[in-house]
Amino acid sequence: MIDGLKERISSAVHNQPQPTVTILSSLLAVEDELGYIPKEAIEQVSDLMSATVNDVWAVASFYPNFRFVPPCDHQIEVCWGPSCHIKGAMGLIEAVLDAVDMADEGDTPDGKVTVRYNTCLGACAQAPVISIDHNLIGGLSPKDAKARAVETMETERAHDTDGS
């Protein structure tokens, strides 16, 4: 367990910047802080919101941006929206998966990289777009995407699990 996990969760849910605090906003705050939603967070959010664990889990399980195990060191997202699809997203996905030696999206077994297909990264004019550790990169060829993925694999943890 991460040191001070309960304190970090507590601090995240009690220091939300906006006046309206809900189950969803609290879960998003935890996600920003830790990069995932641990069991302890479900419990704390249910206490905070006077909701049942079931109520909180219902929300957490609905939105696919939430994950329930600690994040990998790096995250590579490949956009597969139609603009990117037309500009070769499938080839990029293939190249990135090849680089990390996976058959489909998910976490590498060594916890190095998460690969996710994103429905739209919002930079359609630069298609095809990928995002490495939340930095957008447009217009890559499959070969360049593969090189970036390999480079990412070889880099030490780029960011702590602070959601930055």
Instruction: Report the interface residues with other proteins, using CB under 8 A.
Output: 17-20, 22-28, 31, 49, 58-59, 61-66, 79-87, 90-91, 93-94, 97, 104-106, 117, 119-127, 129, 134-139
Q: How far is the CB of 3 from other proteins (least distance, A)?
A: 26
Q: How far apart are CA 38 and CA 49, in angstroms?
A: 17
If the CB atoms of residues 9 and 59 are measured against other proteins, the closer one turns out to be 59
- CA terminus-to-terminus distance, the chain: 20
Strand, coil or helix: what is 14? helix
If the CB atoms of residues 71 and 138 are measured against other proteins, the closer one turns out to be 138
Q: How far is the CB of 32 from other proteins (least distance, A)?
A: 8
Q: How far is the CB of 81 from other proteins (least distance, A)?
A: 3
If the CB atoms of residues 31 and 73 are measured against other proteins, the closer one turns out to be 31
Contact 136, 128 (CB under 8 A): no
If the CB atoms of residues 1 and 19 are measured against other proteins, the closer one turns out to be 19
26 CB-side CA count, 13 A: 26
Q: How far is the CB of 129 from other proteins (least distance, A)?
A: 5
106-107: strand order across its sheet: 106-107, 113-118, 74-79, 129-132, 135-138
